Structure 1
């Protein structure tokens, strides 16, 4: 590797992280994640067999197929929240209803773990709203309002820098 060879990996990693952050911010990411994670224990526990030493504990119920369906639907709703943000309210309400149904059908909603995760995910999806774009002049000090140091924001410079006649960069001298 020579001195002229740029290090690409740091730039690529930063760019990917920023792209993921932008993607995550434009949809109900946490709602989808909680709903997806809530579906996993609901679908898993009815088919799990735990080993405690030589003793085998099976938690299968007669409603094992119902648990699997509820778990798969919750996972699908979580993915829907990520990739179809416009359907977030439907997906959130459906996740809440399925979480409540899982209490009766699936071992107390995946031993309350899946129930609580799916319930929180559904509530986050229903309450999430897309952000609004900031106006072009956002962050500018309005005219007539004292700025830092007690000076009027309209004195000295405009929104695009110093006024045309100012030689000192918009600061009054003397």
Structure 2
């Protein structure tokens, strides 16, 4: 049997149904895109070192080094709250701004309470997670038939064909009017 005949017999131009791995990967990808996923992950991971280090015992040879402090309970509470805020960012993204601010405040409180915020590991992860949560915005679905073009377009370099986005125009305005055009209304035409 030649290589060509095996290729023709085994290949098909019609793709088969996606496997279970592809199905779940695409579902996870869609779920991840509708919420501040990375903010929740960083926040969740920040709670682990903050809660762990005050209770950890490191053995170096025959020497046991314990990081137990009087603030161990405070570290545990901060760590559990950060893990909870990370899960809240995932499953209740509507409160993402509150969760982000609370995460940053807990990160700052963890510096004096729990061994410099889990030796700065948990502190930095919490700051990144909180900032990502505050800055995350849900995406706006594309209008049907928009085909990737914006409402504000100007002609391409040759005057026709491809159209480039024009940042200064608004609905009902002439895209050829610029901010430097001398008009009594500040460079905008009377249609806007």
TM-score of the alignment, normalized to the shorter chain, above 0.5: yes
Matching of residues 22-101 of structure 1 within 5 Å: 22-101=30-109
Partner secondary structure for residue 46 of structure 2: helix
Task: Give, in angstroms, the shift of residue 136 of structure 1.
Answer: 1.1
Partner secondary structure for residue 100 of structure 1: helix
More helix by share: 1
Identify if the C-alpha distance between structure 1 residues 102 and 13 changes in structure 2 by more than 3 Å, giving closer, same or farther.
Answer: same
What does residue 104 of structure 1 align with?
A: 112
Partner secondary structure for residue 132 of structure 1: coil
Whole-angstrom distance in 2 between the partners of 1:60 and 1:122? 27
Task: Give, in angstroms, the shift of residue 116 of structure 1.
Answer: 0.3
Task: Give, in angstroms, the shift of residue 11 of structure 1.
Answer: 1.4
- The answer (yes or no) to whether the contact 1:144–1:152 under 8 Å persists in 2 is no
Segments of 5+ residues of structure 1 without an aligned counterpart are: 1-6, 154-174
Identify if the C-alpha distance between structure 1 residues 51 and 131 changes in structure 2 by more than 3 Å, giving closer, same or farther.
Answer: same
**Which structure is higher in RCO with an 8 Å CA cutoff and minimum separation 6?**
1
Task: Give, in angstroms, the shift of residue 41 of structure 1.
Answer: 0.3
Identify if the C-alpha distance between structure 1 residues 62 and 132 changes in structure 2 by more than 3 Å, giving closer, same or farther.
Answer: same
Whole-angstrom distance in 2 between the partners of 1:152 and 1:96? 46
Whole-angstrom distance in 2 between the partners of 1:136 and 1:129? 21
What does residue 113 of structure 1 align with?
A: 121
Task: Give, in angstroms, the shift of residue 66 of structure 1.
Answer: 0.2
Segments of 5+ residues of structure 2 without an aligned counterpart are: 1-15, 164-192
Whole-angstrom distance in 2 between the partners of 1:144 and 1:124? 34
After superposition, the C-alpha distances for 1:7-47 in whole angstroms (9 at most, x for unaligned) are 88x61111110000000000000000000000000000000
TM-score (normalised: structure 2): 0.70
After superposition, the C-alpha distances for 1:137-172 in whole angstroms (9 at most, x for unaligned) are 2226799956xxx6589xxxxxxxxxxxxxxxxxxx
Number of aligned residues: 148
**CA RMSD after TM alignment:** 2.7
